Amino acid sequence: MDLFNPQIDENTNLLPQDGTVNYFGKLFSREKANFYRDTLLNTIEWKNDEAIIFGKLILTKRKVAWYGDKEFEYTYSNTTKKALPWTAELLELKKIIEEKTGETFNSCLLNLYHSGEEGMAWHSDAEKDLKKNGAIGSVSFGAERKFSFKHKQTKETVSVILEHGSLLVMKDETQTHWLHRLPPTKTTSKPRVNLTFRTIVG
Ligand SMILES: O=C(O)CCC(=O)C(=O)O
Ligand SMILES: [Fe+2]
């Protein structure tokens, strides 16, 4: 497995083929990143995520929230969610990420992992509500965690450490050819907040 070298260059594609992933590193000072982490922890309407698996309603330990330009409906894991209107900090972050990436976004899915015990299993973000091959801007605050990609055919893996206040962008054919996950870890008991800015169509 390749663990991405921390010589950060936002123009380097972390994937060897079939998609583009750029790691921009930390966008914010420690103080500013702490401010966003604490404000998001306190002001976002966090709820345990619902999934229907083999016909059974499951509540995840991880919490989620969904915000957007309008009351988009978004379906994944067999459940439909409705977007809430942007908070001041989310709009501020959206603008910063749009300027940094040259992309535009109309919604954001937020995840709160209370400790290293919580993670997210292998998946790709290619639901029908999402713009095909649209960019996804992933901003992280709080505990540093490893994030991994696995090619659907070759099974090749690539990993990167997502730092406090950092930005990662996934685009082009990444969701078609690669899975990604946030592995659980025993190395931290601190919370992490992740924001994925996306484009919903329809
Ligand atoms: O927490 C992360 O870094 C990734 C979250 C993710 O993959 C998702 O929300 O689809
Ligand atoms: Fe994802």
Tell which atom from ligand 1 comes closest to the C-alpha of 181. Answer: 7
Q: Which of 45-54, 70-79, 127-136 has the lowest mean pLDDT?
A: 70-79
User: For ligand 1, which residues put their CB under 6 angstroms from it?
Assistant: 109, 111, 120, 125, 138, 147, 162, 180, 182, 194, 196
What is the whole-number distance in angstroms between the Cα of residue 202 and the centre of ligand 1?
A: 23
Confidence of residue 6 (pLDDT cuts 50, 70, 90): low
134-164 pLDDT, tens digit each: 999 999 999 999 999 999 999 999 999 999 9
The domain in which residue 79 lies consists of 2-198
CA nearest ligand 1 atom 3, residue: 194
Nearest to 197 by CA among 116, 134, 112, 144: 134
Whether the CB-CB separation of 174 and 125 falls below 8 Å is answered with: no
Confidence of residue 79 (pLDDT cuts 50, 70, 90): confident
Whether the pLDDT of residue 5 is over 60: the answer is no
CATH number of the domain enclosing 6:
2.60.120.590
Burial pattern 13-25, b for ≥16 Cβ within 10 A else e, equals ebbeebbebbbbe
Mean pLDDT (the chain) is 93
Q: Which of 22-36, 75-89, 159-173 has the lowest mean pLDDT?
A: 75-89
φ, ψ of residue 40 in degrees (nearest 5): -65, -40
Q: Which of 70-74, 114-118, 180-184 has the lowest mean pLDDT?
A: 70-74
Confidence of residue 4 (pLDDT cuts 50, 70, 90): low
What is the whole-number distance in angstroms between the Cα of residue 180 and the centre of ligand 2?
A: 6
Taking the CA of 174 as reference, the closest ligand is 2
Percent of the chain with pLDDT over 90: 78
What is the whole-number distance in angstroms between the Cα of residue 80 and the centre of ligand 1?
A: 18
Residues whose CB falls within 8 Å of the CB of residue 104, separated by 6 or more in sequence, listed in order: 98, 199
Whether the pLDDT of residue 128 is over 90: the answer is no
Confidence of residue 86 (pLDDT cuts 50, 70, 90): very high
Burial pattern 142-153, b for ≥16 Cβ within 10 A else e, equals bbebebbbbbee
What is the whole-number distance in angstroms between the Cα of residue 124 and the centre of ligand 2?
A: 6
pLDDT at 2: 53
Q: Which of 182, 185, 188, 199 is the pocket-test mutation for ligand 1 (most atoms within 8 Å of CB)? A: 182
Overall number of domains in the chain: 1
Tell which atom from ligand 1 comes closest to the C-alpha of 162. Answer: 3
13 to 26, 117, 158, 180, 201: CA distances (angstroms): 17, 29, 11, 15, 26
Whether the CB-CB separation of 139 and 33 falls below 8 Å is answered with: no
